[in-house]
Amino acid sequence: AQSVAQPEDQVNVAEGNPLTVKCTYSVSGNPYLFWYVQYPNRGLQFLLKYITGDNLVKGSYGFEAEFNKSQTSFHLKKPSALVSDSALYFCAVRAGFSGNTPLVFGKGTRLSVIA
Amino acid sequence: EPEVTQTPSHQVTQMGQEVILRCVPISNHLYFYWYRQILGQKVEFLVSFYNNEISEKSEIFDDQFSVERPDGSNFTLKIRSTKLEDSAMYFCASSEGASGISSYEQYFGPGTRLTVT
């Protein structure tokens, strides 16, 4: 069965500093990996995905993530954090790509960027 | 930009009552999903729906739950007799699913917070 682990409940970073939100996964077969962000009173917004190809994936709002197959990780990164990046971040995995394959989510990491 | 909408944003109900949560997926999407998030816990898959029938469901989705696409735009989740443990945020999602890997990206609504008292 697929699973996702986000080992940090909370990440605090100063504005302008680089940020990393960690994610590791477990899946049989090829992983399809996603990051979503949730702002207060909003739905889950798609940030980026890894399907195949380059291990470094670039997404919305300057975020990127690096797929590391040997470490089964897909950490989310941004070179310079903004206060507006403060939100709840979810990593998710799909084990297959038929249309009905559900996403399996991590428990989320709350990012707090301090001015 | 098209988006998934959900109503109501917050629903309070008494234990044993029936509730219907409503979703309007993105108009050209073919796959629909419900997920839920109990406070402080993971987002969990409930059910996926395609071509007017359930295509996959989790063990959470028992006989108390049902889904329906009553018309060309709405997608509903019904809980027949709510329990305290049904209190959660319920997210609807849709995906295009027409062709190609990128079409299976899921777009989420803002959620309905269900409180069962």
Separation of alpha carbons B37 and B76, rounded Å = 17
Backbone angles phi, psi at B86, to 5 degrees: -80, -10
- A45 closest CA partner among B36, B23, B77, B3: B3
Separation of alpha carbons A77 and A56, rounded Å = 10
Computed over its alpha carbons, how large is the radius of gyration of chain A? 14
Categorize the per-residue pLDDT at A2 as very low, low, confident or very high, splitting at 50, 70 and 90: confident
Architecture of the domain spanning A3-114: Sandwich (2.60)
Q: Does B25 touch chain A (CB under 8 A)?
A: no
pLDDT at B45 over 90: yes
The CA distance from B83 to the nearest CA of chain A, in Å, is 23
Q: Does A95 touch chain B (CB under 8 A)?
A: no
Q: Do B97 and A99 lie within an 8 Å CB cutoff?
A: yes
Categorize the per-residue pLDDT at B93 as very low, low, confident or very high, splitting at 50, 70 and 90: very high
Separation of alpha carbons B49 and B34, rounded Å = 9
The single residue listed with the structure tokens 């409940």 is A9
* Residue with the larger pLDDT of the pair A43 and B13: B13
Q: Residue range A65-71: average pLDDT?
A: 95
Q: Residue range B62-74: average pLDDT?
A: 92
* Residue with the larger pLDDT of the pair B104 and B66: B66
User: What local confidence, expressed as pLDDT, does residue B98 receive?
Assistant: 54
Q: Where do the domains of chain B lie, and which CATH numbers do they carry?
A: 16-98 (2.60.40.10)
User: What local confidence, expressed as pLDDT, does residue A19 receive?
Assistant: 97
Q: Do B58 and A102 lie within an 8 Å CB cutoff?
A: yes
Residues 6+ apart with CB under 8 A from B71: none
Q: Residue range A15-32: average pLDDT?
A: 93
Separation of alpha carbons A15 and A55, rounded Å = 26
User: What local confidence, expressed as pLDDT, does residue A42 receive?
Assistant: 74
pLDDT at B100 over 80: no
Q: Do A106 and B42 lie within an 8 Å CB cutoff?
A: yes
Domain residue spans of chain A: 3-114
pLDDT at B95 over 70: yes
